[in-house]
Structure formats: C-alpha cells, structure tokens
Amino acid sequence: MQIACRNLHYTYPGADFPVFSNLDWSIEGPGFFSLFGLSGTGKSTLAKLISGELSPGQGEINYPKTRRILYTHNTERIPGWDTVGEHLRSVTPTSKTSLLNHILKDYGIRTYMESRFSGLSMGQKNRINLARYLVQEFDLLIADEVLANVDEPTRNQIIERLKTLFPQKTFLYISHNALEVARFSRTIHVLSHESTASANRIHKTDGLDQEEGTEAPEELVQERVYAILRSAAGTNESRL
C-alpha cells in the first residue's frame, strides 16, 4: 500500500505556529516502518492526519480509497462493562477467530481473558489493545507508542511475531525507542526537530528489518541508532 502526502500543512486551532508546513512524505508497503522523533515533533499529529482523525489545513494525502487505515494509541481502554475475553470475542470478526487465538497465545494474553481491563497492568493493557486492532480488517495500522509500557524482551517478541503473522500488511510504528526501530523497521522515518517550514522535514534511514529467528549484528544496530539520533537532532547530512 502506498500513501503519499503532498504540500501538507497543519496548525492546531489556537496555536501560533504550524506543526507541518509544505510537508512532502510517502511510504510504500507492505512492511514494518517506523516514525521516530523527539517529543513534540508531530509524530502523533502526522498519524492522525493520515488516518483521517485530523483534517489538513492545506495539501493532500493520497492513498487508494479502497484501503483501510487504522490508528491506535497507548491510552486506549476497553469498555468497563466487559471482561477482556468478552470484549475481544465481540469485536473479532468470525473469520478472524483463529487469528485471535494465535495472537492471544503468542502475546501471552490468554490468562487475562476473565479479567477487567481496569485491573491490569499498563503493559498488559497495551498488548490487549494491540491484539484487538490486529484482528480487524486493515491495510495500514499506525501504532502510536502502543507497546510503550511493555518490557523489552516481550516487546521484541511481539514485533517479530507481528511481522511473521502479517507479511502483507503495512505497519507504521511510532516510537521513542531508537534501538527498537533500528532493529525491526524496514525504513525509519525520522521527524527532525527543525523548522516546520521544511518540505523535507522527514528524513529516511534504513532499518535492519530483523525477522523472527534472526539476530541483527550489534555493531550494525548501534550504527543505525546513531544515524537515527543524528537525524532526529537535525544534524544528518544525507536527506532522502
């Protein structure tokens, strides 16, 4: 799936400065992509613009209208009247029941099926929220800090499994963790901390696209991490 933004402009109501101005950006899936940047650079705003949660002031976002984009973030909750199991079963299409069972097992959620969402830890909540999105129909899933509260080994396992389970889907993973995005992403789109007026504010850096059962060399990971951090700080020379 291809998605392209042209001349995108967005200012929050009441704000003095735009978050984006004349932004040109695109990704072409399938694959696991990341959106990285320091706090306040506009990662979630871009995600909301792409998913239609926000409307751009100017410019256009193009993608085939038959494709479905979902956006999820880490503060989402399930309704309090249901247990986790009741909710997951009720929002899973019948054709995806088997996939749900796989995900429940792989993500270690099965033991919480009789629990109330409010009684779980933040990490458990993150996993349950991601699981319910994965069993929906989608072409692009924008996952905004969705695993922010999950411990690192579990998070790595979840991302690897996700890539194995959904090779034909496109993921845009928003994270503050440079190591994680360097290791697992095909391409990292880095929102730099510089003037919003720049059309090329998003720099692309190749990731290592680590798959399940493989291990990227540590030196390579470190090299990519530095490249990402340099881009984020706006000191990278090579812009794509």
Provide the minimum distance between the beta carbon of 92 and other proteins in the complex, in angstroms, as a whole number.
Answer: 11
Q: Where are the beta strands (DSSP E) in 11-129?
A: 20-28, 31-37, 58-62, 69-73
Is the peptide bond prior to 30 cis by the omega test (within 30 degrees of 0)?
yes
> 16 vs 137, which CB is nearer to other proteins?
137
Provide the minimum distance between the beta carbon of 114 and other proteins in the complex, in angstroms, as a whole number.
Answer: 11
Provide the minimum distance between the beta carbon of 206 and other proteins in the complex, in angstroms, as a whole number.
Answer: 30
> 84 vs 178, which CB is nearer to other proteins?
84
Q: Where are the beta strands (DSSP E) in 101-227?
A: 140-144, 170-175, 187-191, 202-206
**Cβ contact 182:188 at 8 Å:** yes
End-to-end CA distance of the chain: 20
Please give the residue ranges that form the binding site for other proteins (CB under 8 A). 51, 53, 70-73, 75-82, 86-87, 90-91, 116, 129, 132-133, 136
Query: What are the residues whose beta carbons fall under 8 Å from the beta carbon of 173, sequence distance 6 or more?
Result: 32, 33, 34, 35, 143, 146, 159, 181, 184, 185
Provide the minimum distance between the beta carbon of 101 and other proteins in the complex, in angstroms, as a whole number.
Answer: 19
Provide the minimum distance between the beta carbon of 77 and other proteins in the complex, in angstroms, as a whole number.
Answer: 5
> 91 vs 199, which CB is nearer to other proteins?
91
> 114 vs 237, which CB is nearer to other proteins?
114
Cα 127–Cα 128–Cα 132 angle in degrees, nearest 5: 115
> 88 vs 228, which CB is nearer to other proteins?
88
